[in-house]
């Protein structure tokens, strides 16, 4: 691979890593392996630290393609926990507003999911990187508590609910640029009258790029350090 000229790397992001962490680790490995002081590198779209799955990393001149890649539809698998909400809409913050879920069936949840499919106006989580007066919303939320987020148009191409086990609802989805799966989980909970939050998330696709073709971080670092290494 010619990393300085430009490569597109498919990475399976580990849980607990930020997208910036992945870029920083690969940048350091490339600088050391290539004996250079600077390597241009970037990613095509942030994954939350608690999420795993496909991350597209571009190096060199390939970074010019990131704008196009950011606009591609994205596919996800995950689970939604019913019967509570969290301020972050995921498992990062403690549960609040705990309530009974015995009235919910898979069929009733699927019916509500249909209401969230298609072109919708979605309100992003307050704990997000969207700028409010030039400051990331999550920083404003941590300093001031609740803040108002404006709805924006997104397209939910698919929102399929597969199985309900206790409070855990498994799903898959394909969505447009700018969609927050955390908000999708939260909105489903509101329609069900129980509250809900995203309990796990794995990105499976970005456009035609697929998770099954991605390298783990360990595999990618081994290839960088020893170009003869194969997946």
Bridge partner list, 78: 171, 201
The DSSP H or E segment spanning 49 is: none
Q: Which entry of 12, 48, 77, 187 is annotated as an active-site residue?
A: 48
Helix axis angle, 19-34 to 217-225, nearest 10°: 10
Q: Establish whether 48 is a catalytic residue.
A: yes
Q: How far is CA 172 from CA 41, 93, 98, in A?
A: 30, 23, 25
Between CA 191 and CA 184 the distance in angstroms is 11
CA torsion through residues 130, 132, 135, 141, sign? negative
CA 187: distance to chain centroid?
Answer: 17
* Pair 101, 167: CB distance under 8 Å: yes
Bridge partner list, 156: 118, 175
Which of 93, 19, 17, 107 has the alpha carbon at shortest distance from 56? 19
Residues classed as catalytic: 48
């Amino acid at each position: 691979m010619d990393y300085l000229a430009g490569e597109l790397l498919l990475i399976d992001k580990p849980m607990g890593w930020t997208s910036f962490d992945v870029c920083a680790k690969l940048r350091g490995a490339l600088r050391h392996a290539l004996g250079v002081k600077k390597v241009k590198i970037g990613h095509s779209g942030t994954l939350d630290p608690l999420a795993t799955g496909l991350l597209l990393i571009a190096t060199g001149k390939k970074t010019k393609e990131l704008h196009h890649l950011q606009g591609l539809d994205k596919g996800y698998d995950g689970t939604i926990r019913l019967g509570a909400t969290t301020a972050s809409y995921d498992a990062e913050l403690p549960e609040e507003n705990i309530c009974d879920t015995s009235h919910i069936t898979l069929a009733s949840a699927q019916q509500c999911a249909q209401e969230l499919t298609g072109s919708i106006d979605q309100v992003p989580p307050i704990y997000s990187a969207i700028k409010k007066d030039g400051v990331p919303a999550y920083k404003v939320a941590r300093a001031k508590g609740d803040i108002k987020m404006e709805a924006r148009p997104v397209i939910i191409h698919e929102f399929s609910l597969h199985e309900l086990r206790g409070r855990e609802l498994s799903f898959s989805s394909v969505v447009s640029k700018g969609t927050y799966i955390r908000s999708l989980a939260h909105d489903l909970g509101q329609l069900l009258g129980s509250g809900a939050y995203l309990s796990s998330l794995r990105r499976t696709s970005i456009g035609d790029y697929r998770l099954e073709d991605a390298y783990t971080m360990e595999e990618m670092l081994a290839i960088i350090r020893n170009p003869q290494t194969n997946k």
